[in-house]
Structure 1
Amino acid sequence: MAELATTPLTGKALLQKVKELSNVPRRETARACGYYTTTKENKIRVNLAEFYDALLAAKGIAIESPKDGRGREASYRVSVHQNSQIVIGANYTQQLGLTPGDEFEIKLGYKHIHLIKLENGQDISEA
């Protein structure tokens, strides 16, 4: 069994340790690199997700994650609900910088819908 690090290794130190332990199982490697916690019963619990995230960061690979870890990512698709309404989610309104109370004129096309933002009840594209 490899010696345990007291604090999680990062960067080049992490990559070097992983290279040294290339013949050791991944849980043991993560544990030896400091990616573990001790439970109330004094059992060691390995944090593989944190280990993999640190390993990717050390290799210069950035992975985007949701801000708070909740919710879904925008799919840029909506469907008509049973009550015939279309709901546009908060992801889209935030990306567009919309605020509560913003008004739009709806223009229907052959296979599309145009939303034209109104400013004080007037079309801002004509202003």
Structure 2
Amino acid sequence: MVFALALVIGGAVIVTWLTWRAANGSLARNDLAGVRTRVTMSSDEAWRIGHRAALRPTVIAGILTVLWSLASIGLAPLRNPVSVLVATAVLLGGALLSIPVAHRAVRRCNTENDASA
């Protein structure tokens, strides 16, 4: 269980780091990592705006995942398969939640740009 929880921690760190890089512009649009949807892939600006918005739920999910995993590693009663599933669900939930957040941010920006034009 410790190894599985350590893998989940690694996953949380990587997902958070990649989202942060995309949000600050150091990870360009690509077909491998990030919130890759038709909306966020429509332009470089949409990519950055979407990831800036997605950063908050991703960071929150990443922190909760790491804290839960560390607690599960440190406390013997929590060192079980259910803890791995909970940690994975929190991380995936944050990733899935970040998609509509990113979409709303891009659409809001597009609406504002259309209104000012």
TM-score, normalised relative to structure 2: 0.28
Question: Which of the pair is proportionally richer in helix?
Answer: 2
Greater relative contact order (Cα < 8 A, sep 6+): 2
TM-score, normalised relative to structure 1: 0.26
Question: Which of the pair is proportionally richer in strand?
Answer: 1
